[in-house]
Structure 1
């Protein structure tokens, strides 16, 4: 059984457990490929389901399978840990890769970790509740920088969002190949290769059709390139081109 079939089997089994035991069950954090498997097999689940990653438009998402008869409140078992230098004056400039590497070196598997966001020189790590205390206790140094960890309360109303770099431009149409080509300075044929190779995800769904249009507000991820939010007011220039904005995730 390949990885895709295993992922599908796990999700269907979680849905079955939720239905038979009348409880909410949760997946690990899913990457974009796994989310595409989740979206592609919704007709096979025994319950309704919802995806959430700790904040709006999170890339890595946890799936909750919710039985129809559920009559009590529930929350996602997700914690947000703020990681900051203990001595900011002497701290190195850390990156997403540095934080992830330090967490993985603690023996934590990637599925237990959600997004890692850099905001105001601090890093916010979304993680499964069951390993949050372990991270807060054991993550004391990243490279040569001593760090401290603290928990953010009330994750459901958490207002932590990624930092963006905005760029405005013009495109011929809102076709996905046009958007990707303009966003990453590629030719249309190069953009098409990314689509054909199943490296493009729109709101967590793998897109291979070059002709597919994108609505304003879509989150587009291109493997090996990055992720951005696509915005357009559908206003045309005098030459009939579409005015758009790209919000690149830092």
Structure 2
């Protein structure tokens, strides 16, 4: 794949950033040694790279630490390779306040306030009084040295020792929905509890993203593990088909990202 075709795949992205990814792919192909990105790719970029592995001539492997994560560092390789030399750490930020619970936005805002660019850390998972954050190794020590409070709450920051502590999972609020088929214009109304006409309006208006790409085809078939983002309603993952109704409609288990 030449550079122009590669850039055209990502027209809505920063041209210089995408050019850097192309150079990583080319370097990997030329020297046949794994090349790792230094930052976390957004899901739309990662999924396009993954979907075009054959055209690129490289294998694309992502690591975002958590199952069902969105942002991932990426490894390009020509040959099958089990090594994972991603330059990342997992930080544990512990809220030491006994009087205030902190949420995802609190931790995210405090890290951004340090001047850390969003592409240098992955998904944040909050469990109890702790927040687990995959970060590029290049900024780990800076965060540890400078993040001492979240809002008005004192906190501590340390690097996760994977031998001592198990990683939490990304949480979902799960619910069952019923759809007449797996067409997206049938699934979206079930997720949002709206009429099919309203669901079609959202699709036609570009408010529905399937796997982080705008889906304007109402007959597009949704598959298990697809991610559906609906502006104004949230982001959802199709978890499984759990059966059928007596009238032959499909029962789906859908998880909403918390």
TM over 0.5: yes
Partner of 2:253: 245
Unaligned regions of 5+ residues in structure 2, if any?
1-6
Structure 2 residue corresponding to 1:126, chosen from 121, 134, 145 = 134
| Aligned 8 A contact 2:207 2:230 in 1 | no
Q: In the alignment, does 2:23 pair up with 1:13? A: yes
Distance 2:157 2:25 in 1: 34
The counterpart of 1:166, out of the listed 136, 158, 174, is 174
Matched, 1:209 2:220: no
Q: Tell me: higher relative CO, structure 1 or 2? Use CA pairs within 8 A at least 6 residues apart.
A: 1
1:32 aligns with 2:40: no
Contact 2:67 2:170 in 1 (8 A): no
Q: Residue 139 of structure 1 is aligned with which of 143, 147, 160?
A: 147
8 Å CA contact 1:119, 1:163 repeated in 2 = no
Aligned-pair Cα RMSD in Å: 2.8
Structure 2: how far apart are the matches of 1:233 and 1:113? 33
* Distance verdict in 2 for CA 1:81–1:227, change over 3 Å: same
TM-score by length of 2: 0.81
> What is aligned with 1:176?
184
Unaligned 5+ runs, structure 1: none
Matches of 1:134 and 1:81, distance apart in 2: 12
1:102 CA drift (Å): 0.8
SS of alignment partner, residue 143 of structure 2? helix
Q: Aligned ranges for residues 1-250 of structure 1 at < 5 Å? A: 3-4=12-13, 6=15, 7-27=17-37, 28-39=39-50, 41-68=52-79, 73-87=83-97, 89-90=98-99, 92-154=100-162, 159-196=167-204, 197=206, 199-202=208-211, 207-233=215-241, 235-250=243-258
Distance 1:163 1:43 in 2: 33
Cα 1:49–1:208 change in 2 (3 A) is: same
In structure 2, C-alpha distance between the alignment counterparts of 1:231 and 1:240, rounded to whole Å: 19
Map Cα deviations across residues 191-246 of structure 1 (whole Å, 9 max, x no partner): 345445274133x5554432222233333333553322223335211122211222
Quick check: 2:69–2:170 contact (8 Å CA) kept in 1?
A: no
The whole-number CA distance in structure 2 between the counterparts of 1:72 and 1:240 is: 44
> Are the counterparts in 2 of residues 81 and 132 from structure 1 also a CA contact under 8 Å?
yes
Q: CA deviation at 1:60?
A: 1.2
* Greater fraction of residues in strand: 1
- Asked if 2 retains the 8 angstrom alpha-carbon contact of 1:12 and 1:45, the reply is no
Contact 1:55 1:158 in 2 (8 A): no
Higher mean Cα deviation, 45-54 or 102-111? Answer: 45-54
Q: How far did residue 67 of structure 1 move?
A: 3.1
